[in-house]
Amino acid sequence: MSEKLFIFDTTLRDGEQVPGCQLNTIEKIEVARALEELGVDILEAGFPISSPGDFNSVREISKAVSNPTICALTRAVQKDIDVAADALALAKHKRIHTGIGVSHSHIYDKLKSTPEEIIERAVAAVKHAKKYVEDVEFYAEDAGRADNEYLARVIEAVIKAGATVVNIPDTTGYCLPQEYGRKIKYLMENVGNIHKAIISTHCHNDLGMATANTLEAVINGARQAEVTINGIGERAGNTSLEEVVMALRCHKHLNVDTSINSKLLTSTSRMVASMMNMPVQANKAIVGRNAFAHSSGIHQDGVLKSRESYEIINPVDVGLDESVIALTARSGRAALNHRLELLGFKLEQKELDEVYAKFLELADKKKDVRDDDLLYLVGAATGEK
Ligand code: KIV
Ligand code: ZN
C-alpha cells in the first residue's frame, strides 16, 4: 500500500494571478468543479482580501464544491485572516493558508523586520487563524533561499501554535533538486514536533526545476504538493499537477501516490488552457499536443510493434484514445501503411511502395500529410476515384 501525497491545487490562486488569466466567479466555479472531479484534495480558491471579486469567488466555490478542502490565502495580518474566514464560512471543509517571508531579503528588505519579530508575527497569525478553523497551513515564503536553521525555528514555532500543514515554498524557483530535498530532510530531522504537521512543497519553475524539486521533496518526506494545471503561475509558473501525478504513477517504487483520476488530466488541461487563455506548448510533458505523437520513422515503426518501445505512459491513462502517428517526411512505410489500414486500404507491397514515393514528395512540401491527401494518393496509385 503506497503512502498518500495530498494534492493541493492552486490553479485558481497562484495560477490565476498571471496577467491575462483572470476568470470571473462563474468561470472559477466551473474550473473548481472540474478540479473536484479530478480528485484534488485541497483547492486554493483565492486570496479574499485582495479584491471583492476574489472574496466572492471563494465564497461561491465554498458553496459549489464539497469534496475538497477549500483554502483561502492570507498574509500574516489579522484583517486578512478575518476576511478569509468570512469568505470560507460556508465551506464544508476549510483551511486558512497564512504566512510570511523568512529569507534574508524578505525579512530585512521587503518586510523591514528582524528574524525574531517574523517568528512572533508568524505565531500570532497561526493562533489568530486557529480561532476560526482547525486546519491552518503556514507558508514560509521564500523558504528556498532561507537559512535552514532559522527556517527550522520558524516551523517549530508555528506547529506549536497549531499549524497542521507547513508549506516550504521555493518562491523564486531558485533551488536545485538536491538542495531543496536536503532542506526538507533537514526539517524532518531537526524540527522536534514535525510529526504533528504535514510538510508541503510549493515550487516555482524559474529554472525549469519545479517538478524535479517537488519530487525530491516528496522523496525526503513532504506529503502535500502544491501544483497547478498545466503548471500555470507567476513568471515561469508553478509545479504542474499532471507531471507530479504521472511521475509518481511511473515510479511506483517511490511508494507514494495521489488520489487523482489521471484519465481526466487531458480534458482538465484543455479546459483550463482555453478558459484562462493560456495555450499549452506542444511539447509540454503529459498534456502537450505532441506528448504522445511519434513522427520519426524509427520511432513510429517501434511504437507500432510495441507501444512501450517509445512510450512510458499509456495515452489512455491520461484520457487520450491512442498515441498519434504523425505523417511527416520523416515517417516510414510502417506508419503510412498503418494509417492507410485505419482508412480501410490494404495495399500490395508494390502499391504501397508507389504511394510511399508520392507521399514523400508531398511530405517534403507540406508540414504534415492529412487523410484527404492520402485518399488522393491512393486513388492515383490504384486507379480508384
Ligand atoms: O510562492 C509562494 O511563496 C506563494 C506563497 C504565497 C504560498 O505562492
Ligand atoms: Zn507561489
Task: Give the whole-number percent of the chain exceeding pLDDT 90.
Answer: 94
Per the annotation, where are the binding residues for Mn(2+)?
A: 14, 202, 204, 238
Distance 66 CA to ligand 2 centre (A): 24
- Is 384 a residue whose pLDDT tops 70? no
CA distances from 32 to 11, 252, 272, 339 (A): 9, 29, 10, 39
**CA 234 from chain center: how many Å?**
13
Return the pLDDT at 342: 93
C-alpha 329/C-alpha 367 separation (Å) is 8
Is the Cα torsion angle 260, 184, 313, 233 positive or negative in sign?
positive
Atom index in ligand 1 nearest the CA of residue 226 equals: 7
User: Is residue 171 within 6 Å of ligand 1 at its C-beta?
Assistant: yes
Per the annotation, where are the binding residues?
A: 14, 202, 204, 238
Distance 299 CA to ligand 2 centre (A): 38
Distance 263 CA to ligand 1 centre (A): 29
Best mutation site among 10, 13, 14 for ligand 1, i.e. most ligand atoms within 8 A of its Cβ?
14
User: Is residue 181 within 6 Å of ligand 1 at its C-beta?
Assistant: no
Atom index in ligand 1 nearest the CA of residue 97 equals: 7
State the average pLDDT for the chain: 96
Return the pLDDT at 1: 86
Q: pLDDT for 310-330, tens place per residue? A: 999 999 999 999 888 999 999
Cβ atoms of 41 and 7 within 8 Å: the answer is yes
C-alpha 153/C-alpha 146 separation (Å) is 12
- Is 385 a residue whose pLDDT tops 70? no
Return the pLDDT at 368: 81
Closest residue by Cα to residue 80 from 48, 40, 57: 48
Q: pLDDT for 64-115, tens place per residue? A: 999 999 999 999 999 999 999 999 999 999 999 999 999 999 999 999 999 9
Return the pLDDT at 382: 76
Q: Which ligand is nearest to the CA of 99?
A: 1
**Least confident range of 12-21, 194-203, 209-218, 250-259:** 12-21
SS3 170: strand
Average pLDDT over residues 243-262: 98
pLDDT band at residue 4 using 50, 70 and 90 as cut-offs: very high
Grid cell locating 361: 514528395
User: Is residue 233 within 6 Å of ligand 1 at its C-beta?
Assistant: no
User: Is residue 16 within 6 Å of ligand 1 at its C-beta?
Assistant: no
- Is 195 a residue whose pLDDT tops 50? yes
> Whose Cα sits closest to atom 8 in ligand 1?
14
Whole-structure pTM value: 0.94
Task: Give the whole-number percent of the chain exceeding pLDDT 70.
Answer: 99
Q: pLDDT for 263-315, tens place per residue? A: 999 999 999 999 999 999 999 999 999 999 998 899 999 999 999 999 999 99
Distance 209 CA to ligand 1 centre (A): 16
Distance 97 CA to ligand 2 centre (A): 12
Atom index in ligand 1 nearest the CA of residue 238 equals: 1
Return the pLDDT at 180: 98
Distance 202 CA to ligand 2 centre (A): 6
- At 255, the amino acid letter reads N
> Whose Cα sits closest to atom 7 in ligand 1?
139
Q: Which ligand is nearest to the CA of 141?
A: 1
